[in-house]
Amino acid sequence: MAFTISSSPHDHAPLSTPVLMRRVCYCLLPGIAMQWWFFGWGSLVQIALAVLTAYAAEGLVLKLRHRSLTVLQDNSALLTALLIGVAMPPLAPWWMVVIGTAFAIIIAKQLYGGLGQNIFNPAMVAYVLLLVSFPLHMTSWLPPLELQQYPPGLADSLSAIFTGYTLDGFSPHQLRELSDGTTMATPLDTLKTGFTQGLTASEVLNEPVFGGLAGIGWQWVNLAYLAGGIALLRLRLINWAIPVSLLTSLAVLSFLGFMISPDNTAGPLIQLFSGATMIGAFFIATDPVSASTTFRGRLIYGALIGLLIYLIRTFGGYPDAIAFAVLLANLTVPMIDSLTKPATYGERR
């Protein structure tokens, strides 16, 4: 066995971009598996459509820019597609995920120059585009499978996504109405709708979609993404500052809000373990391109996202606020980095 001796300094080579992106995708798998388990095959179909669209759109742009298609091997398009796919309602029409993914790759990423040049998170740009353009479809989540009277299988999911109806002739809207009276999209949507109708938190929490920690299905999905986020930290693929400051900010604000007005606000557990909180904290807010790069800046950036999530969820018109909070925080990154950059050695500040 050869033993190589070399002079100092000794340092480990950083992970290549393809390896880094691929490992992040692996860490998404527990959450994706939970979404499939609780919401059916539609989630996997949406992910597959997003992946195919992402590679096709990026390949087209690379050809137009006369660049090598080997760039596709960096796995950044794959990660963007996975994030868009898991954000789509399982039975949303096929053309929506195609439009959103193509917009993310062509406009939000390649138009800025490609990977490393975009100032906004491409997946969140796509999500906001779809949410603003097609709010009815984007809030049409079915309840978890255990609450559905006619849970769609793979064939029904494919039929509903591509034709608008299951094999038995049910539309996604009809499937929601047949689900034991549970017609709300998500636990967060149920809460917001209940509060606007004058119901108290305790009354809303009696809805069938709630149960256990923070909502049937959603709590386990968030726990799975939390497990994937912990894996990211253990593998040193992300820095702890952003997710910890984000979750701490959201938890503290929701606790204070709940203490002040327990009948009209969601408690910390619901805020943390429902909606897209955990995937947002570990997989979206930590995007190395659009997030802050200094240590103090990351703490401020994460806390700002947590603040915006709480404000939008509590006082805004949207039940989940991850995408809007991240994009608004992306705008502040240049100023945050400028104000928190470390001093050069010997510089007096």
| 1 belongs to a structural domain | no
Contacts of 173 (CB under 8 A, 6+ apart): 140
Identify the band that residue 147 occupies on the pLDDT scale cut at 50, 70 and 90: confident
How distant, in Å, are the alpha carbons of 1, 123, 145, 298 from that of 287?
41, 10, 32, 11
Q: How many domains does the chain have?
A: 2
| 6 belongs to a structural domain | no
Last residue of a domain, which of 120, 146, 181?
A: 181
Last residue of a domain, which of 141, 164, 181?
A: 181
Identify the band that residue 185 occupies on the pLDDT scale cut at 50, 70 and 90: low
User: What pLDDT score does 11 carry?
Assistant: 52
**Domain residue limits at 278:** 184-337
Q: In terms of domains, do 79 and 204 share one?
A: no
More confident residue, 68 or 250: 250
Query: Has residue 207 got a pLDDT over 80?
Result: no
Q: In terms of domains, do 177 and 234 share one?
A: no
Cα separation, 277 vs 275, in Å, equals: 6
User: What pLDDT score does 168 carry?
Assistant: 86
| 272 belongs to a structural domain | yes
User: What pLDDT score does 348 carry?
Assistant: 62
Q: In terms of domains, do 285 and 325 share one?
A: yes
Q: In terms of domains, do 134 and 275 share one?
A: no
Q: In terms of domains, do 155 and 20 share one?
A: yes
Query: 57 near 101, Cβ under 8 Å?
Result: yes
Q: In terms of domains, do 133 and 30 share one?
A: yes
Q: In terms of domains, do 166 and 217 share one?
A: no
In DSSP notation, 66-83 reads T--GGGGGGSHHHHHHHH
| 136 belongs to a structural domain | yes
Q: What average pLDDT does range 94-114 have in this prediction?
A: 94
Contacts of 194 (CB under 8 A, 6+ apart): 203, 204, 207
Last residue of a domain, which of 181, 211, 238?
A: 181
User: What pLDDT score does 129 carry?
Assistant: 95
Return the number of other C-beta atoms located less than 10 Å from residue 149's C-beta.
Answer: 13
Q: In terms of domains, do 161 and 228 share one?
A: no
More confident residue, 65 or 305: 305
Q: In terms of domains, do 20 and 151 share one?
A: yes
Query: Has residue 326 got a pLDDT over 60?
Result: yes
Query: Has residue 4 got a pLDDT over 80?
Result: no
Cα separation, 154 vs 157, in Å, equals: 5
Query: Has residue 347 got a pLDDT over 80?
Result: no
Query: Has residue 220 got a pLDDT over 80?
Result: yes
